[in-house]
Chains A and B, each alone.
Chain A
Amino acid sequence: MSGKPRLTYLNGRGRMEPIRWLLAAAGVEFEEVYLETKEQYDKLIKDGFLLFQQVPLVEIDGMKMVQTRAILSYIAGKYNLYGKDLKERALIDMYVEGIADLMQMILMFPFSPPDAKEKNLDSIKERATNRYFPVFEKILKQHGQDFLVGNKFSWADVQLMEAILAVEEKIPAVLSGFPQLQVFKTKMSNMPTIKKFLQPGSPRKPPPDAHYVETVLKVFKK
């Protein structure tokens, strides 16, 4: 056993991607096991690895952690990306939860029927530009600092960076009304651990394609 965290999920973004981002941002190397067949998944359940019969699963520090938020909170806490006190943690939690709501729309997008895709894309664009991005644009403008919370790099910054890039993949000019976010994106891209994660060959996964959707449906078929 290497001592590195071990991630079990499909070979694609899904609910594991924010975890990959956060570990990478913290400079933590990790291993991955990819679910490709229903049999593999059923075996994991049968062997008692998955507390609620679901992935993501992250084996870390002797624990078999499930529940995306629980895993992210643990990593953030362990690697000092969770603010300095309860109030900073509250801000970080609010921000990541809001971003998670936006990311949920993107997560579900590949699984929507073809005739709903255009409507869903419009919803993503509407929410990003009217509900979520303006909030973070304002925060950065008001305090003028590089990072969202406490003048220090945190989980909130990583999550926002991931969301910006994910939305841009769908709507390339989405940041055009958000100068602070453009600057933020550049700054984050230049942070050594994030820069590394954004380079080819990193554990970062590509946008979901038809093969990924197929695999999800196959592995989790009831």
Chain B
Amino acid sequence: MSGKPKLYYFDGRGKMESIRWLLAAAGVEFEEEFLETREQYEKLLQGGSLLFQQVPMVEIDGMRMVQTRAILSYIAGKYNLYGKDLKERALIDMYVGGTDDLMGFILMFPFLSAEDKEKQRAFIVQKATSRYFPVYEKVLKDHGQDFLVGNNFSWADVHLLEAILMVEEKKSDVLSGFPQLQAFKARISSIPTMKKFLEPGSQRKPVPDDKYVETVRRVLRMYYDLKAN
């Protein structure tokens, strides 16, 4: 055993991607085991490693952690990316809650029918530009600091960068009305650990494709389409 955290998920973004981002931001190397077959998943289930029968699952510090939010909070706390006190943590939690909701709309995207995809794309862009981006634009403008909370790099910054890049994949000029966020994106992308994660060959996963969708459906036996928002 290497002592490195080990991630159990599909070979793709999904709910694990935010965890990859945060570990990478903290400069933590990690291993991955990719679920490709139903048999692998059932083996994990039978072995009792999945507390609620679900992935993501991360083996870290002797624990088999499940529940994305719990895993992210643990990593943030352990690597000092969670603010300096309860109030800063509250701000980080609020901001991450927002970007999580936004990324949630994108998460379901590959599993929508073709016609729902167009509808959802418009919905994502509308929510990003009218509900979420303005909030972070204002936070950055109001305090004029480099980072969202407490003048210190935190989970909130990592999550926001991830969200920005994901929305840009749906509409490349989506940041055009948000000068603060453009500067933020450039700044956070140039932090050494983030820069490394954004380079080819890192453990960052690509935009989900048909093969990914097929794998998830097969492993989870999830053959229905999700509904658009």
**Are A73 and B90 touching (Cβ within 8 A)?**
yes
The verdict on B224 contacting chain A, using a C-beta distance below 8 Å, is no
- B135 cross-chain contacts in A, Cβ below 8 A: 51-52
Given A70-B97, A131-B52; A87-B63 close (CB under 8 Å):
yes
Stretch at the interface among B65-73, B168-176, B177-185, B209-217: B65-73
Q: Which residues of chain B in 17-49 are interfacial with respect to chain A, using CB atoms and an 8 Å cutoff?
A: none
Partner of B74, one of A78, A86, A132: A86
Interface size class of B (residues with CB under 8 A): 20 to 34
Assess whether B78 is in contact with A86, with CB atoms less than 8 Å apart: yes
Q: Is B12 an interface position by the 8 A CB rule?
A: no
Candidates A70, A90, A135; contact of B63 at CB < 8 Å: A90
The answer to whether A44 has its CB under 8 Å from any CB of chain B is no
Q: Is residue B131 contacting chain A, with contact meaning CB distance below 8 A?
A: yes
The answer to whether B150 has its CB under 8 Å from any CB of chain A is no
- Pick from B67, B78, B98 the residue with the most CB of A within 10 Å: B67
A67 neighbours in B (Cβ, 8 Å): 93-94, 97-98
- What is the distance, in angstroms, from A55's C-beta to the closest C-beta of chain B? 13
Q: Does B159 contact A (CB under 8 A)?
A: no
- Find chain A residues with CB under 8 A from B70 CB: 90, 93-94, 97
The distance in angstroms between the C-alpha atoms of A53 and B133, with both chains bound, is 13
Does A173 lie at the interface of the complex (its beta carbon under 8 Å from any beta carbon of B)? Answer: no
**Interchain nearest-CB distance for B14 vs A (Å):** 16
Q: Is A98 part of the binding interface, using a Cβ–Cβ cutoff of 8 Å?
A: yes
Q: B191 an interface residue at 8 Å Cβ cutoff?
A: no
Contacts across chains A and B counted by CB atoms under 8 Å: 78
A window 187-217: CB within 8 A of B: none
Q: For the complex, what is the distance from the CA of A90 to the CA of B87, rounded to whole Å?
A: 19
- Which residues of B from 70 to 84 have beta carbons under 8 Å from A? 70, 73-74, 77-78
Q: Which of B67, B89, B131 contacts A97 (CB 8 A)?
A: B67
A135/B131 contact (C-beta < 8 A), A52-B101, A74-B86, A90-B73 known? no
> Considering only CB atoms, which chain B residue lies closest to A86 in the complex?
B77
Q: How far is the CB of B150 from chain A (nearest CB, A)?
A: 14
The answer to whether A65 has its CB under 8 Å from any CB of chain B is yes
Interface residue? B147 (CB, 8 A): no
Interface size on A (CB < 8 Å)? 27
Chain B residues in 8 Å Cβ range of A77: 86, 89
Judge if B114 is at the interface, Cβ distance under 8 Å: no
B113 beta carbon closer than 8 Å to chain A: no
Contact A73 B89, beta carbon cutoff 8 Å: yes
Q: Is the CB of B52 within 8 A of A63?
A: no
**Known contacts A74-B90, A135-B52; A69/B69 CB under 8 A:** yes
Q: Is the CB of A131 within 8 A of B97?
A: no
Q: Which residues of A sit under 8 angstroms from B61, Cβ to Cβ?
A: 87
Q: Are A93 and B94 in contact (CB under 8 A)?
A: no
Given contact pairs A86-B78, A89-B74, A94 touches B51 in the complex (Cβ within 8 A): yes
Q: Are B87 and A61 touching (Cβ within 8 A)?
A: yes
Q: Is A101 an interface residue (CB 8 A)?
A: yes
Query: Within 8 Å of chain B (Cβ to Cβ): is A66?
Result: yes
Closest CB in chain B relative to A111 CB, distance in Å:
13
Residue of B nearest to A102 (CB): B52
Measured between beta carbons, the chain B residues less than 8 angstroms from A78 are 86
A70 in contact with B94 (CB, 8 Å): yes
Report A-chain residues with C-beta under 8 Å of the C-beta of B66.
Answer: 94, 98
Give bound CA distance, A70 to B91, whole Å: 8
Q: Which residues of B contact A66 (CB under 8 A)?
A: 94, 97
Contact of B67 among A68, A86, A89, A94 (CB under 8 A): A94
Residues of chain A with a CB closer than 8 A to B131's CB: 52-53
Contacts of B132 in A (CB 8 A): 52
A18 to chain B, nearest CB (A): 14
**Residue from A52, A63, A74, A87 having most chain B Cβ neighbours under 10 A:** A52
Known interface pairs A66-B97, A70-B94; 6 further A-B residue pairs with C-beta atoms within 8 A, sorted by A's residue number: A52-B132, A52-B135, A70-B90, A73-B89, A93-B67, A98-B67
